[in-house]
């Protein structure tokens, strides 16, 4: 049986699209569902050509086991991948999917993590701190922002003439290159 993956996303969806493409013909897993918390999120249009079923969830719905769990159970979800999902995952969901919810963070945790550390904010903070390396951290989710067990980290240099946007571009390349392959390994 193929593993059933749900992608949780809130934004533009380049990682979601990349993961869907990666697993499109996989004998091991398939993307069975996209869960999104913003009805205007570009990710919803981005995944349409793939025919990926989508479910909109409100912040309160995510916090309600009687709302989110049936959505996931209906699609027989085995594994959850966060791809730019900006809401905190509730403890009951972490308990329902132990070691089966992963995230990619666009910095080298434990630095530059936690509430408010997302998007361009992270890259700005990395540059302001004078870091010479940045990268991505793929980690399991627990009930706290960006504190779950690390699975893998991949790095790139911070260049002297970097802007938050130029650094963000190199980080996104790392995300696209490594996230799907790490997910595949975790599904074993």
**HSE (side-chain half, CA atoms, 13 Å) at 32:** 17
Catalytic residue selected from 105, 123, 139, 176:
105
Specify the DSSP element, H or E, that contains 59.
helix 59-62
Between vectors from CA 43 to CA 84 and to CA 9, what angle results, nearest 5°? 30
State yes or no: is 139 an active-site residue: no
Q: Are 15 and 87 in contact (CB under 8 A)?
A: no
Q: How far is CA 28 from CA 72, 161, 187, in A?
A: 19, 42, 8
Beta-sheet strand order (sheet of 101-105): 54-56, 29-36, 3-9, 79-82, 101-105, 133-140, 150-157
Query: Which tokens sit at 60?
Result: 């309160």
Q: Are 73 and 61 in contact (CB under 8 A)?
A: no
**Rg value, the chain, Cα:** 16
Active site residue ranges: 105
């Amino acid at each position: 049986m193929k593993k059933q993956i749900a992608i949780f996303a809130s934004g533009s969806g380049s990682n979601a699209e990349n993961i869907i493409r990666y697993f499109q013909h996989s004998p091991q897993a398939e993307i069975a569902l996209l869960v999104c918390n913003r009805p205007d999120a570009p990710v919803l249009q981005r995944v349409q050509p793939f025919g990926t079923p989508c479910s909109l969830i409100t912040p309160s719905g995510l916090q309600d086991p009687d709302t989110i769990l049936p959505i996931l159970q209906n699609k027989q979800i085995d594994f959850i991948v966060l791809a730019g999902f900006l809401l905190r995952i509730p403890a009951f969901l972490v308990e329902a999917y132990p070691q089966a919810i992963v995230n990619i963070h666009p910095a080298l945790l434990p630095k530059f993590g936690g509430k408010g550390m997302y998007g361009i904010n992270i890259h700005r903070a990395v540059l302001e701190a004078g870091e010479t390396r940045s990268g991505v951290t793929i980690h399991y989710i627990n009930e706290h922002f960006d504190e779950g067990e690390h699975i893998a980290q991949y790095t790139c240099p911070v260049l002297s003439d970097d802007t938050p946007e130029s650094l963000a571009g190199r980080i996104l390349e790392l995300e696209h290159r490594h996230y799907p392959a790490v997910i595949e390994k975790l599904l074993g």
